Structure 1
C-alpha cells in the first residue's frame, strides 16, 4: 500500500535527443506551443508534472544544435560555438504518438525566445533529460498552484493529471486578459488571474497580496510555487511561517531571476 502523501524521487537515464518541430502555434500573444517529434523520443520518460529537460537551442546559422563539451561529449573543434542550454518543463508527452509538447513564455530577447519565435515545421532542437522526477501522490484534500507565466506549463500539466473533482486553486500572474489560458481538467478548479505589466514581472506584490488574502481550504493540502526567485522565496516564507502550512507539503522553485541567464533554484529546505 502506498504511504499517504508519499513523495518519490525517480531517476531516469540521461540521454541527448535530436528532435524536429512538428507544429508551432501561438497559444497567446506571449506563449508559443511547440510540438516535437522524432525517432529519438523512443524511451523518453517524464513522470513528474514539473520535470525539467535541458534544451540545446541552435543559434542563428546553426542547422542543428551543437552540444557543449562534457564528460559524455567530445571537445568542440576550435572556433565552434556551443548552442545555449535552457531548462523547460515537458508540457505533455505522447509516447504512442511520438510527440513532446513544450510551451515557451516569450519575454525579453534570449535564446529560448528567439528559437521559439522562429520555430517552424522541420526546425531541429536538442533535448536532454529529464534526469529525474519528483512524484507527489495524488491523495491530498486540495491543491494550491501559484506562479507566473513561466509556471503555466507545469500548472496546466498538473491540472490535466490530477484526479477528478479534487479542489484546486490556481493563482497566476500574467500580462493581461489576452494571456489567460484555458486548461483541460476534471478537477474542481478555481482560477484567479492577476494582471500586471510584463515589465513588472519581478515585483512580488501582486502574488503576495493575492495569497495573503486567500483563505486556505480545510483539510490537508499541497502547495506548489514557481516563478521569479525572490517572489517564490517570499511566498514560501509566508505560507510556512505566517500561515503555518506543513513545510513538507510545499514545493517551491525559482524559475528565473532578473539579470541571470539559465537560472533555476529550489527552495525546499527545512
Structure 2
C-alpha cells in the first residue's frame, strides 16, 4: 500500500517483511573507521530497497551465543548477483561491530526487511543531509541518487580525516566536515540555506538529534513535513532507533 503526501509528494511504501539467510561474500575496509561487508544469497534476487532512508535488521550471534539485532542502511544492492552491502562504523562498541571486526568470508547471518520505504523525491531545490558516522552510509547512498542540477548540503560529524570520504555526486554538493557534536549543531544553526523548497534529513545520537530538531524545525522554522530526523543510536543503549 502506498500513501502519497499531496503537499510534498513523499511516498511511504510497505514491503513484505522477509527474513533472508545470507553469507558474507566480500569484506572491504574503505577507511580506518569503516568496514564494508557484502552478503550473498539466492534470496537477495528479490530484495527491494526504494529509499536511502531504509534500514534492515542484521541478525547475528553475540559473544554470549545469544541473538543480537541491529539496524543498518542497505548501501548497495545488486539483485542480479544476489548481493547486498552494509557498512559498519567501527568506532562504535557493541555486538554488531565486534562481529564485523572478526567476520570472515563465508560467515552466516540473517537479514530482515526492510519493512517499508519513505521515498523522498529528488527534485527538491536542495537537500540537507546531516549526521555522524552512523549516518554516513545513508548520506553516501543519497549522494549517488541525486540527479544533475540538484543541490546537496552535507554536514558530517567525522573526527578522523581519513574517514571523511564521500562518493562523486552528480549534485552540486556543499560539504561541511565537523569534528564534534557542538560544532555540528552550530553549523546547522548558522550556515545559510539556499532559497526554494528543501528537504532535511538528519540521523545520529539521540540527544544530538533532539538539538538538531530544535535548531532546524523550531529555530530555523523549516517545515516539519519536509524533514526526517532520526536517532540511530543512544549513548548507553543497545539496538536503539527512533524517529523524532
Q: For residue 244 of structure 1, give the secondary structure of its aligned residue in structure 2.
A: coil
Q: CA RMSD in A?
A: 1.6
Q: For residue 216 of structure 1, give the secondary structure of its aligned residue in structure 2.
A: coil
In the TM superposition, what is the alpha-carbon distance from 1:109 to its structure 2 partner?
3.1
Q: For residue 51 of structure 2, give the secondary structure of its aligned residue in structure 1.
A: coil
Whole-Å Cα distance in 1 between the matches of residues 78 and 11 of structure 2?
Answer: 23
Q: Given that residues 63 and 95 in structure 2 are in contact (C-alpha distance below 8 angstroms), is that contact kept between their aligned partners in structure 1?
A: no
Q: For residue 169 of structure 2, give the secondary structure of its aligned residue in structure 1.
A: coil
Task: Determine which of 37, 40, 65 is the counterpart of 2:40.
Answer: 37
Q: Which residue of 1 aligns with 2:18?
A: 15
Equivalenced residues, count: 240
Residues 95-114 of structure 1 aligned to structure 2 (within 5 Å): 95-114=79-98
Q: Which residue of 1 aligns with 2:219?
A: 242
Q: Given that residues 18 and 112 in structure 2 are in contact (C-alpha distance below 8 angstroms), is that contact kept between their aligned partners in structure 1?
A: yes
* Counterparts in 2 of 1:59 and 1:240: CA distance versus 1, 3 Å: closer
Q: For residue 208 of structure 2, give the secondary structure of its aligned residue in structure 1.
A: helix
In the TM superposition, what is the alpha-carbon distance from 1:60 to its structure 2 partner?
4.9
Q: Given that residues 144 and 221 in structure 1 are in contact (C-alpha distance below 8 angstroms), is that contact kept between their aligned partners in structure 2?
A: yes
Q: Which residue of 2 aligns with 1:137?
A: 121
Task: Determine which of 97, 106, 118 is the counterpart of 1:122.
Answer: 106
TM-score by length of 2: 0.94
Q: For residue 116 of structure 1, give the secondary structure of its aligned residue in structure 2.
A: helix
TM-score by length of 1: 0.85
Gaps (5+ residues) in structure 1?
62-80, 197-203
Whole-Å Cα distance in 2 between the matches of residues 259 and 4 of structure 1?
Answer: 38
* Counterparts in 2 of 1:241 and 1:109: CA distance versus 1, 3 Å: closer
In the TM superposition, what is the alpha-carbon distance from 1:179 to its structure 2 partner?
1.2
Q: For residue 133 of structure 1, give the secondary structure of its aligned residue in structure 2.
A: strand
Q: Given that residues 45 and 81 in structure 2 are in contact (C-alpha distance below 8 angstroms), is that contact kept between their aligned partners in structure 1?
A: no
Identify, as 1 or 2, the structure richer in strand: 2
